Chain A
Amino acid sequence: MHIVVCIKQVPDSAQIRVHPVTNTIMRQGVPTIINPYDLVVLEEALRLRDNYGGTVTVLTMGPPMAEDSLRKCLTFGADRAVLLTDRFFAGSDTLATSYALTAAIRKISETWGKPDIVFAGKQTIDGDTAQVGPGIASRLNLQQLTYVSKINGVVSDKNQIEVERRAEGGIQVLVSTMPVLVTMIEGSNEMRRGTMAAALAAAKAEIVTWSAADAGVEDMTKCGLRGSPTVVKKVFAPAARSEKAFQLPVAGKPAEEIAALLLEDLFQRKPAIEDELMKFASGQ
């Protein structure tokens, strides 16, 4: 089986701060990480390979420094890593991103064989759109299996895959024919640790690096800023409410008194709530 996993290197958003005056992102010194949702699918890909045999190719589109994340994937056990990097890709929105990744997956397919499964993270923590996976599926005409919570099994000789998918109000059990595109929800598995030996090997491994031309991207106008139908017109900080909270005079009072103060204040502001609570309390 050949499995391709698309990952993205993202700034660790827990450490991002916004400059209070200029409203701009302060990126200096913010470490980058592999998008956490991508680790869920990477782990699943490695498990499938371990169970059914085959290879795992990891793919990312990003700046040259995204190589770090690819090496980490090799440490976890991926078999090869491809970096798609070109200044033409800068400013891509989701449509342009899925266009570029699709070209690279076609090239991977020519070079190392057709993938049976393409995995993508459910969403990224920086863009959060959850659209790149479906975009790749549409462009490559793959069956699209998103929000998968469990892969029940693969029947390789019949090209079949059975999955459980989180739907509204329940779980859909689906059977499909590979090639498929799969995204998974968090909590589906736990990422393995890489070994020291794997880390040493990964540090020396070759990262296959492709420019747009190398990957066989046909239409540069579909890449980057030019290929992105959406335009960011404005970036701004959320407005503060004009008035701050009304502080109840609680200083130094015992908890019972504080509670009584709040009840009085609440029922004064929202008389209807008291009626509703009474109804609830009397079991209506």
Chain B
Amino acid sequence: MTTAPQAPKPAAPAAGGNRATMKKELPEHFKAYRHVWVFIEYEHGKIHPVSLELLGEGRKLADKLQVELAGVIIGEKADELAAAAQECFEYGADLCYRVYDPILAHYRNQSFTKAMTDVVNTYKPEIFLLGATTLGRDLAGSVATTLLTGLTADCTELAIDDERSLAATRPTFGGSLLCTIHTLNFRPQMATVRPRVFGLPDRQPGRTGRVIDHPLDMTEESIITKVLKFIPDRESNQCQLAFADIVVAGGLGLRSAENFHLVKNLAEVLGAEYGGSRPLVQKGWITADRQIGQTGKTIRPKVYIAAGISGAIQHRVGVEGADLIIAINTDPNAPIYDFAHVGLIADATQVLPALTEAFAKHLSVNRIAG
């Protein structure tokens, strides 16, 4: 077994090494806990993509454990949720627990926590995964505290160890290190995962499963917080960075806010989204929703072009899922070359406009030719 280093540890869970070796047998009343569950975040008529990504990952865990994969879906209308459940089956779920009630039309912590903890206490999962969205984090924290179990946030890797225990790996200390966390003697073992850390699994049209209904034992009068209104973000304000096929990003190597236009121009020609490293947000060159990395967005594009970005670990964890990483950096020793696939040791402020022009020309020439 691997033991934790003797060094000072994060303030939260520490010195686990020795305790892990003292593992007691799982208390009797937890032995009934079986199966892998994913919370299906369903709002405004659609499933959040992170839930489908988790079904893909949950499927692997369930197969390893030889148990079933279930989705838990909470909302207002039975028929809408049934359609969403069907989508879950096609993404790998064997069954879905469904809780529907007019009270559940909007997300509220109190009603969703009640629905969730009732289903968990009735059907007892051993592993329970949620997306680390604002909704998922809000819900996971109160569900875990109500159930008095462990919760590992923002995992980047999930695995099953030799003792059927969930090994949840997450970055710690701002991503400089990774740690693997176990919830040994409590059930369910809960974890949240950020969107786009895992890819979308293949959809299998026509794959079916069972729906199990569970009632919500609650009245509107007992819910203290009321939703006055919901103001949707304007479509144009929602940046699709996390889901773009091509992303062009800039870093401090661009030297000035003006030069950041070079990134935008290239992105425009490519129909790509643009983003940047954290210092650019701090300097006000880009808005916070365009920050890429551990404390920004995780992206999984087919092509990622990073200009003037050093490749600090906090940036790296947000882009490692890209199929092809192209880095433009003047420093041959920049850490970004440790994980990029293609490198250009050159001045980004000169290469970016040249690239924009070359792509524009290539695309228009070939369009005329084709």
Contact = CB atoms under 8 A, between A and B. Distances in A.
Contact of A131 (B7, B8, B141): B141
A211 interface: no
A234 B179 contact: yes
B174 to A, nearest CB: 4
Contact of B145 (A135, A168, A241): A135
B224 A245 contact: no
Interface residues of B, number: 114
B145 A138 contact: yes
A265 interface: yes
A127 interface: yes
A16 B173 contact: yes
A277 B19 contact: no
A274 to B, nearest CB: 8
A22 B19 contact: no
Contacts of A169: 43-44, 232-233, 238
A173 B231 contact: yes
Residue among B41, B332, B362 with most chain A CB within 10 A: B362
A172 B313 CA distance: 34
A281 interface: yes
B225 A248 contact: no
B363 interface: yes
Nearest to B338: A240
B138 A262 contact: no
Interface centre among A95, A245, A246, A255 (most CB of B within 10 A): A245
Nearest to A165: B134
Range class of the A interface residue count? 35 or more
Q: Is the interface of A mostly helix, strand, loop or mixed?
A: mixed
B343 A230 contact: no
Interface of B: 1-2, 4-17, 19-20, 41, 43-44, 48, 106-107, 109-110, 113, 133-135, 137-138, 140-142, 144-146, 148-154, 167, 172-186, 224-233, 238, 245-246, 270-271, 288, 302-303, 313, 316-317, 323-327, 332, 336-347, 350-351, 353-355, 357-359, 362-364, 366-367, 370
Given A230-B13, A233-B4, 12 more contacts: A25-B8, A25-B9, A126-B173, A187-B288, A234-B2, A244-B343, A247-B332, A248-B344, A258-B351, A262-B342, A266-B342, A281-B271
8 contacts: A13-B173, A27-B8, A126-B173, A130-B153, A131-B145, A176-B226, A238-B175, A263-B362
Interface of A: 8, 10, 13-14, 16-19, 22-25, 27, 62, 90-95, 97-98, 125-135, 137-139, 143-147, 162, 166-177, 186-187, 225, 228-238, 240-241, 244-248, 250-251, 255-256, 258-260, 262-263, 265-266, 269-270, 272-273, 276-278, 280-282
